[in-house]
Structure 1
Amino acid sequence: MNKVRASAPQLQGLVPYDPKYLPAEAFLSANENPRDVDPEIRKQAMREVKKAALNRYPDPLANELRDMIAEANGLERDQVLVGNGGDELLFDLALAWGGPGRTFLNLPPTFSVYAANARLTNTTVVDIPRNPDYSIDEEAVLARAAQGDVDFMVVASPNNPTGLMASPVFLERLLGATDALVMVDEAYFEFSRQTMRPQLAAHENLVILRTFSKAFSLAGVRVGYILGNPGVIREFVKVRQPYSVDVVSQAIARVVFANRAKFEPGIEAIISERARMMEALHKVPGVTPYPSDSNWIFFKIADAAEAWEYLYAHGVLVRDFSSAPYLENGLRVTIGTPEQNDLFLRNLRDFALRP
């Protein structure tokens, strides 16, 4: 038969996630760490990889890595789950707490994958837009959550792509106002230096998402994890893909996590460069940068799409949000090395000052 029936109805109108990963001299679009894993740590990781039996399935739950993460966070193994990057765990959240007749509370603008996962699982999406400065409309969120029909929500802290942390006081109020599962996405918490980890014991409905992709330079390896109540973790285990974290990724992640203190100088360098970049952006005519607690800065500029093209033509790839709802005329630049940042700033100034 020379035809195929239509795909599932919930796919209609969904646009595939496209990070526009293009070749460039300065990759400043994907919030990656600009520095690769230190050569000595890489050697350790390769020694571990060589020990792996490639003909055998991996430990389904990556228990050795789970134990390391649990110990570092003062938790037990059953309070940790490792996934194929944060992306798998975000989809597992929608599988376990979403579905027909269930509701996801979204705080746009935020990471678009949250709402996309909800729609893929036929979950109703309720939007509470952020304030004009991209802070959370806290009272509106609390009022909507108090209605009692919300099943789960994700609060990115810091928020991607706009940069600000969620107030810990607000998050405590939210956790106390609802029995919905509240995932706090802490993918960038190493740059904000703030975490909700101390609140886990007091709130059964709190789950925290983290990743190796950003601060630990492992975006190419795909390892993320969640911290939560044992009962919550069990529900995630029911829907996760078996063997989703392969033996190579587990081996590399164990070595990197054991050496995590060695990444601190690089993290500090990014935080320092973020401050320098923010100060410099304030001096570029027509540019409005927004405060950031992460490893990027979101900014607005007239003719943003044209600015993106200009930057890319001069070797700098940033993320274009200029046509996204709530983010019009917006671009996001990842904090790179000083040399990459200087290249970006020089070309952005040239664009802003063009005749």
Structure 2
Amino acid sequence: MKPDLSIESLALPHVAAMHAYVPGMQPMESGWVKLNTNENPFPPSPKVIEAIQRELANEARGLRLYPNPTSAPLRATIAAHHGLKVEQVLASNGCDDALNLLMRVFCSVDRPAGMTVPSYSLYTVLRSIQAAEMREVEFDRSFELPIDAIASSGANIFFLTSPNAPTGVSFAPERIAELLEKFSGILVVDETYAPFAEQNCVSLLADNPRLVIVRSFSKAYALAGMRTGYALANPEVISLLDRVRDSYNLDRLAQVAAKAALEDQAYYQGTIEATKVLRDKAAASYEERGWFVYPSAANFHFVEPRKGGGAGKAVAQDLFQCLLDNKILVRAFPNHALTQSFLRISVGSAEEMNRLGEILDAWQKK
């Protein structure tokens, strides 16, 4: 007789004990204003659509064939865009794929990862898959980069978002260069939102072989639905990542879409500048309400709403529920003392931001 074992008991204990990443709500019905996952309010470049349509021509016969296994044409385009060698680029199935590969290569039971807190919660999920320890370095409310604490964390690989999520605060390349001088492990600078910022760390790659930069096509390039991203690093790091990635990690349509997007910088610089205008207008409106808002170098704001002269977790939760009741989605972070009084609000279209403003006015008048 077969032993009566539960499925969970057959799983690796550390996997059975872990919690999955919880993404922002994705409503299925229409009528929602989605300001919770920092998606682009503008459509992709028309050239992206044309590239996909070309790939689907002739009854989409090309789809029966495997894609380019290394995403070679896309890698070459990314390298040219950043002034790097192809050997310094890895194309990935979204930014998250690159992060996962980095964890596989540089993180294990006896090689801890590290991250600043608060930050992107997926990092914790990925280190859990490796049964590894996470060394957390806490920000204070100033969100100044805690260089010495990171350098002494003992992490083998450390993840830093710049611009930071969830605040949008950007860290100067000079400060990150200072960190690289003191930190002895692999430093991953997650630049998912960098196209909206005034500065980035790509120039630091030349002199820092332990630096890895991760980028995404989901935000500035309006391709969240295509799941494309990439990593920039020393060729030795890229070679290691290539050894552990899926052999066909990026499908044919994603490859051609991302390539076409990078090749149409004129279009995207226009939409990025338009997003910045909407961002700055929104920041001014939050400040006019007497709310605290961090200076954002991304396409979202981290705001501390006030009502009746007060702020706090209860106020943030009350506004969150009011917005939800009016079919407006934002993101709350109630489980950390530094974030519980804040909401993260994406920059939407002009129409969406006007709708948001109407509901905020009504909420404050209650």
TM class by shorter chain equals over 0.9
Say if 2:107 and 2:156, in contact at 8 Å, map to a contact too.
yes
Identical aligned residues as a percent: 28
Aligned equivalents of 1:327, 1:296: Cα separation in 2: 15
Q: Are the aligned partners of 2:21 and 2:121 in contact in 1 as well (CA < 8 Å)?
A: no
Provide the residue aligned with 2:120 in structure 1.
Answer: 111
Aligned residue identity for 1:8? L
Gaps of at least 5 residues in structure 2 are: 306-310
Q: 1:94-105 maps to which residues of 2 (within 5 A)?
A: 94-105=103-114
- 2:35 aligns with 28
**2:346 pairs with 1:342:** no
Which residue number in structure 2 is paired with residue 309 of structure 1?
Answer: 321
Amino acid of the residue matched to residue 30 of structure 1? Answer: T
- Distance in 2 (alpha carbons) for counterparts of 1:45 and 1:179: 43
**One-letter code of the match for 2:67?**
P
Residue 262 of structure 1, aligned match among 257, 263, 267:
267
1:169 equivalent to 2:174? Answer yes
8 Å Cα contact 2:45-2:261 kept in structure 1? no
- DSSP 3-state at the match of 1:107: strand
Q: Distance in 2 between matches of 1:257 and 1:134?
A: 32
Equivalent residue in structure 2 for 1:10, among 10, 14, 27: 14
Give distance in 2, aligned partners of 1:206 and 1:271.
28
Task: Pick from 57, 60, 64 the counterpart of residue 73 of structure 2.
Answer: 64
- Residues 60-69 or 258-267, more deviating: 258-267
CA distance, structure 1, for counterparts of residue 5 and residue 182 of structure 2: 54
Distance in 2 (alpha carbons) for counterparts of 1:113 and 1:40? 32
TM-score, with length taken from structure 2: 0.90
Deviations along 1:113-170, whole A, 9 cap, x unmatched? Answer: 112211221121111100113332233223x15xxx4211111100011110122222
The aligned amino acid for 1:241 is D
**Cross-structure match for 2:189:** 184
Q: Which residue of 1 aligns with 2:91?
A: 82
Check if 1:288 corresponds to 2:295: no
- Which residue is equivalent to 2:241? 236
Q: Is the 8 A contact 1:197 1:208 kept in 2?
A: yes
Partners in 2 of 1:35 and 1:241 — Cα distance? 31
8 Å CA contact retained: 1:213, 1:223: yes
Partner of 1:47: 54
Contact 2:172 2:199 in 1 (8 A): no
Contact persistence 1:45–1:255 (CA under 8 A): no
Contact 1:284/1:349 (<8 A) preserved: no
Contact 1:135–1:164, Cα closer than 8 Å, also in 2: no
Q: Is 1:253 paired with 2:258?
A: yes
Contact in 2 for aligned 1:105/1:128 (Cα 8 Å):
yes
CA shift, 1:107, in A, is 0.5
1:299 aligns with 2:275: no
Question: What amino acid is the match of 1:279?
Answer: A
Residue 308 of structure 2 is matched in structure 1 by none
Q: Which residue of 2 aligns with 1:217?
A: 222
What are the ranges of 5 or more consecutive residues in structure 1 without an aligned counterpart? none
TM-score (norm 1): 0.93
Q: Please give the per-residue CA displacement for 1:256-310, whole angstroms capped at 9, x wherever unaligned.
A: 221132111111011111111111001225x322221100001123421221121
Q: CA deviation at 1:13?
A: 4.6
- Runs of 4+ in structure 1 displaced over 4 angstroms? none
User: Matches of 1:40 and 1:140 in 2, distance apart?
Assistant: 45
Q: Look up the SS of the partner of 2:64 in the other structure.
A: coil
Answer with 6-15 or 193-202: which moved more.
6-15
Residues 186 and 209 in structure 1, CA contact (< 8 A), matched pair in contact too: yes
The DSSP-based 3-state class of the residue aligned with 2:175 is: helix
Counterpart position of 1:137: 146
Which secondary structure state, in structure 2, belongs to the residue aligned with residue 306 of structure 1?
helix
Q: How does 1:191-202 map to 2 (within 5 A)?
A: 191-202=196-207
Worse-superposed segment, 161-170 or 7-16: 7-16
